[in-house]
């Protein structure tokens, strides 16, 4: 601006330039040599310079004022709390201040990023970068991983304005040096790596994730080429590969191959991470990567590490409000197996797109995916979630909750007859609406209401197992609320149905039954996850399994009512003249599914009951470790365990006294019922009989689930995992049978004060000694 006006006259130019405060570049001569514009009056734009702040040295007075303060007196902002002040970084404290330099230490490393590199060194750096990349994927921040690389730092800072500026140097190359081929290769690899990080961050932040718990997306004010499209990076990689293939460039063949395989991997990886992959081509992206992985692993030993290429000092220049932290070292084998797992998990996730569009299939898939071991990394989970919540998935012709309702509850039901939606309401709004329109409106209203809790449930299923358990606690509350709302809708439905005279075609409380069954399923899973994650201690097993058993018993009741209703409907369709075969078929499919659910609930209830009884006896017989808890009482502990479920209605949590009667059938441990020893010492008596009966029921029920198959369970897409789960439950039944027999024979003829001569060993989580992670079956062994 100033320059243009300056053209008018020398003296005016001076004034204006001065006004702008940009006098530094002015030398007075340039304005004289410029041609004068003809005949235009000089118009001065209203141009006030930004007022410069003034600085006053207040050191001395500040110091005097401070020393006049009393000890312990603070002069502070009234809204500034001690709590906040704890978060302040202490300057000059080597542990907190990332900018603190030890005596003689320099800020910058003197590592030269333009120094020629050997091919071995480039391989070493690439592999090290891969390790850091994987460490980042497992949850460490970039500042402790990739951003410690000198090369990446040079590419990203100072921020390049164009892509071409992203070099290992800024400005011109000194002394007309040409960039070595090896450096070009490394540059292409680093650029693509940075873009990979950008894609990963975009994908993860696009879905539900927990910053710093799951993953750190912080980039410390560095921009990871957000606006540069992917093909630019692919071109760089291609160019680098061409450079390597150049015959004039002499290099050992093995090294050449190793480098090409790394570039090739990066190319495929970057393509697969691309955000805009069309859904129907997904299977082309992840599987090819697996083939590019092996050569990286086999040629790793060719590399030569270059420790100087990484430094924690780079953290000093990152915009960071946290103290400096050491570089995270992940060994190459670990990093490689993480990478392999990531690729596997993602290609498994792409199978999601091939599932039949059925919410129950989706649910099974999500459940199976969350159960994968090792647990999928945040990226893989976000990847699956982005497929699940992809518009093409969500915009199914029937909304998910409705098709869920349809499968479980209302196959061929007049309640969701499509013709209900085609009727027009009476023109006069004062007239009552015909019952069929009421059905449509009520169902619409309910589906609308279900939407949020339903998605919330799926979001929870997309988290890792620990968080899944915790989030289920919240989801259950939402479904509890939903159930009470569903009750109101049910009343209206009944009224409309009675008007139509089809009361018997609709099950009692349809919508609340559906909601209830789903909610109970979640409560069961939550408790089972608690066992899976060793939340409960062995002396709490009896209580928790007893609770689980009561929950699934309730689900069993709901489902068996449903089965009865569906079977009646099925018979009615067949008996009608002419028989309505299509509806009958629809109902039959639902019956299959509900049967599978029913058998599952029966199995869970029976097995949990047996385990509860087993652990109760084990407690009485002092076979389980029970820690001393001087600072808590049984009542408080019970309240704490039941906290997530206390507000539910139904199922109401048992009051403490009733609960105690269930888990302490023989009275308190210190003051045993005299009948106890008599009851356990004779193998033929009820205590043992009941336990065995439950085990038997459970075994039969799980066998039925297995027989009905994955299709009936709506888990066809993940049949293998489903079969493993059912098999695990069956095996747990068998194991429990053995354990019960073991304790029974040991307890035979035992009297008060006798040692039993056996011990119960509780398999810990993740040790591979449990047949199913949620079913903790103790092993009985000789002492």
Binding site for another protein (CB under 8 A): 50-59, 61-77, 80, 84-85, 87-93, 98-101, 106-108, 221, 316-321
Residues constituting the chain? 783
> Among residues 110 and 242, whose Cβ is nearest to another protein?
110
Q: Count Cβ neighbours within 10 Å for each residue of 144-163 and write b for 16 or more, e otherwise.
A: bbbbbbbbbbbbbbeebeee
Residue 192: CB minimum distance to another protein, A: 27
Yes or no: say if 219 and 142 are a contact pair by the CB < 8 Å rule: yes
Q: How far is the CB of 218 from another protein (least distance, A)?
A: 12
DSSP calls for 556-604: HHHHHHHHHHHHHHHHHHHHSSS--HHHHHHHHHHHHHHHHHHHHHHHH
Distance in Å, CB of 179 to another protein, minimum: 19
| SS3 assignment, position 127 | helix
Structure tokens belonging to residue 539: 């002396």
**Smallest distance, another protein to C-beta of residue 21, A:** 11
Backbone angles phi, psi at 728, to 5 degrees: -60, -40
How many beta carbons lie within 10 A of that of residue 618, not counting itself? 24
Pairwise CA distance, residues 421 & 632, whole Å: 58
Distance between CA 439 and CA 435 in Å, rounded?
6
Q: Which is nearer to another protein, 86 or 431 (CB)?
A: 86
Shortest distance, position 325 Cβ to another protein, whole Å: 15
Nearer residue to another protein within complex by CB, 293 or 322: 322
Select 33 or 67, whichever has its Cβ closest to another protein: 67
DSSP, collapsed to helix, strand or coil, labels residue 224 as: coil
Q: Which is nearer to another protein, 63 or 755 (CB)?
A: 63
144 vs 463 by CB, closer to another protein: 144
Nearest to another protein of 314, 597 (CB atom):
314
Alpha-carbon gap, residue 476 to 470, rounded angstroms: 10
Give the H or E element holding residue 729: helix 719-747
Give the nearest distance from C-beta 171 to another protein in angstroms: 8
Whole-number Å distance between alpha carbons of 556 and 604: 10
Q: How far apart are CA 458 and CA 518, in angstroms?
A: 12
Cβ 107 to another protein shortest distance, Å: 6
Q: Taking the complex as a whole, how short is the minimal distance between the CB of residue 473 and another protein, in angstroms?
A: 34
The CB-of-172 to another protein minimum distance in angstroms stands at: 10
Q: Which is nearer to another protein, 181 or 318 (CB)?
A: 318
Judge residue 520's burial from the number of C-beta atoms within 10 Å of its C-beta, 0-12 exposed, 13-18 middle, 19 or more buried: buried
What DSSP state is assigned to residue 639? Answer: H
Nearer to another protein, 91 or 430 (CB): 91
Six token digits for residue 744: 């029974």
SS (H, E, C) 516-529: HHHHHHHHHHHHHH
* Least distance (Å) between residue 601 CB and another protein: 53
Question: Which is closer to another protein, CB of 97 or CB of 180?
Answer: 97
């Amino acid at each position: 601006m100033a320059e243009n006006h300056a053209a008018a006259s020398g003296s005016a130019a001076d004034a204006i330039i001065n006004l702008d405060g940009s006098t530094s570049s002015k030398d007075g001569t340039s304005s004289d040599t410029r041609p004068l514009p003809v005949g235009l009056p000089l118009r001065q734009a209203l141009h006030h310079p930004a007022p410069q702040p003034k600085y006053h040295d207040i050191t001395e007075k500040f110091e005097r004022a401070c020393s006049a303060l009393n000890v312990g007196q603070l002069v502070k902002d009234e809204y500034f709390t001690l709590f906040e002040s704890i978060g302040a970084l202490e300057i000059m404290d080597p542990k907190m201040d990332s900018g603190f330099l030890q005596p003689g230490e320099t800020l910058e490393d003197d590592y030269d990023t333009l120094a020629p590199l050997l091919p071995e060194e480039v391989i070493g750096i690439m592999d090290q970068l891969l390790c850091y990349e994987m460490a980042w994927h497992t949850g460490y921040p970039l500042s402790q991983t990739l951003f410690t690389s000198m090369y990446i730092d040079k590419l990203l800072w100072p921020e390049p304005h164009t892509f071409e500026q992203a070099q290992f140097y800024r400005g011109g190359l000194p002394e007309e040096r040409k960039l070595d081929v090896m450096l070009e290769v490394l540059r292409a690899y680093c650029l693509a790596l940075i873009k990979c990080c950008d894609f990963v961050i975009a994908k993860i932040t696009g879905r539900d994730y927990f910053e710093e718990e799951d993953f750190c997306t912080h980039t410390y004010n560095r921009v990871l080429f957000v606006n540069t499209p992917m093909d630019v990076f692919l071109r760089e990689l291609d160019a680098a590969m061409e450079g390597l293939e150049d015959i004039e460039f002499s290099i050992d063949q093995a090294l050449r191959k190793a480098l090409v395989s790394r570039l090739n991997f990066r190319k495929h990886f970057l393509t697969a991470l691309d955000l805009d992959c069309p859904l129907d081509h997904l299977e082309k992206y992840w599987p090819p990567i697996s083939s590019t992985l092996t050569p990286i692993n086999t040629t790793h030993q060719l590399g030569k590490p270059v420790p100087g290429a990484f430094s924690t000092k780079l953290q000093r220049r990152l915009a960071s409000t946290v103290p400096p932290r050491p570089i995270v070292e992940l060994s190459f084998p670990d990093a490689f197996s993480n990478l392999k797992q990531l690729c596997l998990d993602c290609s498994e996730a792409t199978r999601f797109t091939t599932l039949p569009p059925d919410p129950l299939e989706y649910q099974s898939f999500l459940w199976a995916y969350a159960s994968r071991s090792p647990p999928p990394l945040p990226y893989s989970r976000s990847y699956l979630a982005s497929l699940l919540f992809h518009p093409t998935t969500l915009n199914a012709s029937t909304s998910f909750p409705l098709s869920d309702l349809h499968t479980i509850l209302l196959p061929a039901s007049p309640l969701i007859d499509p013709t209900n939606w085609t009727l027009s309401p009476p023109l006069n709004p004062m007239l009552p609406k015909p019952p069929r329109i009421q059905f449509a409106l009520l169902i619409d209203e309910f589906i609308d209401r279900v939407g949020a809790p339903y998605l919330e449930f799926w979001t929870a299923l997309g988290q890792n197992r620990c968080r899944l358990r915790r989030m289920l606690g919240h989801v259950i509350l939402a479904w509890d609320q939903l159930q009470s709302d569903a009750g109101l809708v049910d009343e209206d439905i009944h009224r409309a149905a009675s008007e139509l005279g089809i009361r018997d075609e609709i099950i009692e409380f349809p919508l609340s039954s559906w909601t209830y069954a789903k909610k109970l399923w979640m409560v069961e899973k939550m408790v089972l996850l608690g066992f899976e994650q060793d939340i409960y201690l062995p002396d709490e097993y009896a209580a928790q399994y007893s609770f689980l058993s009561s929950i699934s018993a309730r689900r069993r009741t709901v489902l068996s009512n449903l089965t009865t209703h569906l079977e009646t409907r099925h018979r009615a369709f067949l008996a009608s003249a002419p028989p309505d075969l299509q509806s009958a078929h629809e109902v039959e499919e639902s019956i299959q599914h509900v049967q599978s659910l029913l058998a599952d609930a029966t199995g869970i209830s029976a097995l949990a009951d047996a385990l509860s009884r087993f652990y109760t006896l084990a407690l009485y017989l002092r076979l389980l470790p029970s820690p001393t808890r001087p600072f808590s009482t049984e009542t408080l502990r019970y309240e704490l365990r039941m906290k997530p479920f206390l507000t539910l209605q139904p199922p109401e949590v048992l009051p403490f006294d009733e609960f105690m009667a269930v888990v302490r059938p023989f009275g308190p441990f210190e003051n045993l019922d005299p009948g106890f020893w008599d009851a356990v010492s004779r193998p033929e008596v009820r205590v043992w009989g009941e336990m065995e009966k439950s085990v038997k029921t459970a075994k039969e029920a799980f066998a039925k689930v297995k027989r009905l198959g994955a299709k009936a369970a709506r888990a066809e897409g993940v049949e293998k995992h489903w079969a493993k789960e059912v098999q695990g439950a069956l095996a747990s039944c068998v194991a429990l049978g053995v354990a019960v027999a073991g304790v029974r024979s040991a307890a035979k003829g035992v009297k008060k004060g006798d040692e039993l001569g056996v011990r119960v060993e509780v398999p810990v989580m993740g040790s591979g000694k449990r047949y199913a992670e949620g079913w903790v079956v103790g092993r009985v062994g000789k002492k």
